[in-house]
Structure 1
Amino acid sequence: MMSVPSLIDELERTLSAGSSVQRADILRRVSDLFLLNVEAYTEDHVAVFDDVMLHLIDKIERSALIRLSKQLAPAANAPIRTVHSLAEHDDIEISGPLIERSKILSDDFLIELAKTKSQAHLAAIAGREVLTERVTEVLVDRGDDEVTLKVTGNHGARFSRPSFMKVAEKAQSDGRLAEQFVARSDIPPDVFQHLLRKATEVVKNRLLKNADSDMRVRITKTLADIATEVARERAQVDKDSYSPGTVLHLDADRLKSKVGELARAGKRTETIEALAALSKLPVPTVKNLMRQGATDGLLILCKSIGLGWPDAKRVLATVGNVSGEAETKKAFERYLALTADTANRVVRFVKSCKAISKADFQRML
């Protein structure tokens, strides 16, 4: 190969008089020559190409730089200084292919890019085939919603526990992110539970609707465990008796936690009174709603006051005599499909009427 100084001298002469088309042609021929035998070159050979390319890219047009970046991205033996120079470029069309695909970029280099460059650069890093915890941490800390979504959906990305927790916090009100998050197989069980404990009803319903059968079972079981744990925590704090004379004087949150206990104890009348108090409906109106809609009436009341399925199931068994496995399963599916908005709309309609007919009830559903 020609020595570096003499080659660069020749390039200087050509570049000084050459057009932009000629300069681009020179770079194309140099890069094509490099890629022709890239696997066979020694470190010294690669160093020569590195010097030449580095000299050329300062004086070349954008389209040629984009082409060079795409050419060098998959090369395991690419000239390192040229790759670094292109990968640091502010123009993501130039830097993006190398950021996303080049295997010679170190974690330290990627971390520095993630700390200083644009969200488009972070998104390119998030798409790499493999990401270590160190790199992922910076992406989660500094990335916007799209970057977080992309890196969470990248199953080649490794997450530290703090990074998992940060994504879980972001996913509480972001259905798209929550779906990507729960699809990962490496989430610690307690972090999985943390997301479902804090998630909005909209996010929970989306997860249950779109999950496959195995994931739906896992989510349902986790939600049931959470409900049990919350009830246990509240019971520990509140040791009041739940007799009819005292329980209805509790505030709404504490009364809500007692509904399941009333139903489990078989106290049908007290359970109906608690439902009426929480929904702010007269007891006779609640009884009428239950008569008109049967099981659906109970499901609507339970959903409107925000009961979890374990407590709603106890109410159905005690007040609605729903106990068979098939009937309970059917009620569970309807409860999942029923939205809080629909339930609240029915309750508002009932409050505005002196009476509700079965036809009115069915039309509201």
Structure 2
Amino acid sequence: MVGVPSLIDELERTLSSGSSVQRADILRRVTDLFLVNVESYTEDHVAVFDDVMCHLIEKIERSALIRLSKQLAPATTGPVRAIHRLAENDDIEISGPLIERSKILSDDFLIELAKTKSQAHLAAIAGRETLTEKVTDVLVEHGDDDVTLRVTGNHGARFSRPGFMKVAEKAQSDGRLAEQFVARSDIPPDVFQHLLRKATEVVKNRLLKNADIDMRVRITRTLADIATEVARERAQIDKDSYSPGIVMSAEPGRLKAKIGELAQAGKRTETIEALAALSKLPVPTVKNLMRQGATDGLLILCKSIALGWPDVKRVLATVGGIETEPEIKKAFERYVGLTSETANRVVRFVKSCKAISKADFQRML
């Protein structure tokens, strides 16, 4: 503690009659002395520095306070009262460095800040290296869109299940947030599905467009599972109640829900009739389309009626004889890459023609 007594004497003189420049200078010297030897100080020593800094904080200008905050932010041991006083300052330029970096600030202190301070303060908390679930929950509850986006993109932040669900609700119509959300590796699978079930088409398309190949496959499979599940939830027809006549007369929604079951049961004729009925094409035209395009023809028909992948796979096996893993994988990649717009364009073209040649078919793709 060499030099401290003289600094304290100088401090008293400066506070009573010194200029703002002199007060800033003595604060700098006190801070430098503290940081240079911080590891060797006892609790009593630190308390002395704390008292000195607290005296100065009330007397010095903004620029000096900003500098002090930045200097103290990385310290693992420090003047606790001074750090807390700076961190609760309404001026984010003063409080921000400590809020975002100081390990001395407790969760309870951060939670109180999040409940009472500005969105800029919440954004600083959201940028901390690590965050516990209880702090993250408060940020999601009280934060605006920018705060939610930042904390969701912070992979050092831990989320509770309710916290994840709240972010998923916000991300349904927010493409940026949805991208940050699905990039997290700790999302429960059912929460991931919940987001995709509720997301707008704009958000779904953005996720598919910008995701890497693994995430795109996961999203596509999840969307396919959701489509199948929703269709089956609406279905009221018993699994064994179909015959060719019933297939042709069933309501489209109920027929779509059962098309996978027809295919799984090996009912090839009924499956083709169902495809024809749902795409509003004559059965011979559907068969011709399948002949011309083989697997692609089936995929186009399935995409045009928005059939989920699990059911598409069953149709491919029963109608197209596609069952090996390499064939299925290739078909899946084709199905993911095929847009509804392209599929519907081919179907419209087929409806306008009496026949379609293989050349016509390839040109449409």
After TM superposition, the score normalised by the length of structure 1 is 0.82
Report if the CA contact (8 A) 2:172-2:178 is conserved: yes
In the alignment, what sits opposite 1:46?
Answer: 46
What is the aligned length?
A: 360
Q: 1:39 to 1:207 in 2, by over 3 A?
A: farther
Return the letter of the residue paired with 2:12. Answer: D
In the alignment, what sits opposite 2:297?
Answer: 297
* Counterpart Cα distance in 2 of 1:217 and 1:173: 21
In the alignment, what sits opposite 1:287?
Answer: 287
Return the letter of the residue paired with 1:10. Answer: R
Deviates more, 1:305-314 or 1:171-180: 171-180
Q: Does 1:10 align with 2:13?
A: yes
* Counterpart Cα distance in 2 of 1:27 and 1:269: 88
**What per-residue deviation string (whole Å, max 9, x for no partner) do you get for residues 127-166 of structure 1?**
2222111101111222334433332333332222211222
In the alignment, what sits opposite 1:84?
Answer: 84
In the alignment, what sits opposite 1:239?
Answer: 238
* Counterpart Cα distance in 1 of 2:130 and 2:164: 17
Return the letter of the residue paired with 1:129. Answer: E
**What per-residue deviation string (whole Å, max 9, x for no partner) do you get for residues 79-104 of structure 1?**
22222222223333322221111011
Counterparts of 1:194-233 in structure 2 under 5 Å? 194-198=194-198, 203=204, 206=207, 210-211=211-212, 233=233
- Displacement of 1:330 in angstroms is 0.8
Deviates more, 1:46-55 or 1:200-209: 200-209
Report if the CA contact (8 A) 2:225-2:309 is conserved: no
* Counterpart Cα distance in 2 of 1:178 and 1:99: 26
Deviates more, 1:304-313 or 1:344-353: 344-353
* Counterpart Cα distance in 2 of 1:230 and 1:274: 18
Report if the CA contact (8 A) 1:179-1:207 is conserved: no
* Counterpart Cα distance in 1 of 2:206 and 2:255: 25
Report if the CA contact (8 A) 2:228-2:257 is conserved: no
* Counterpart Cα distance in 1 of 2:351 and 2:94: 63
Report if the CA contact (8 A) 1:136-1:158 is conserved: yes
Deviates more, 1:294-303 or 1:218-227: 218-227
Deviates more, 1:148-157 or 1:128-137: 148-157
1:140 counterpart SS class = helix
Uncovered stretches (5+) of structure 2, i.e. residues with no partner: none
Deviates more, 1:322-331 or 1:174-183: 174-183
Report if the CA contact (8 A) 2:220-2:336 is conserved: no
Return the letter of the residue paired with 1:334. Answer: R
Report if the CA contact (8 A) 2:11-2:26 is conserved: no
Uncovered stretches (5+) of structure 1, i.e. residues with no partner: none
Report if the CA contact (8 A) 1:227-1:310 is conserved: no
- Displacement of 1:178 in angstroms is 4.6
Identity across aligned pairs (percent)? Answer: 80
- Displacement of 1:77 in angstroms is 1.9
- Displacement of 1:303 in angstroms is 1.6
Counterparts of 1:14-93 in structure 2 under 5 Å? 14-15=17-18, 18=19, 20-93=20-93
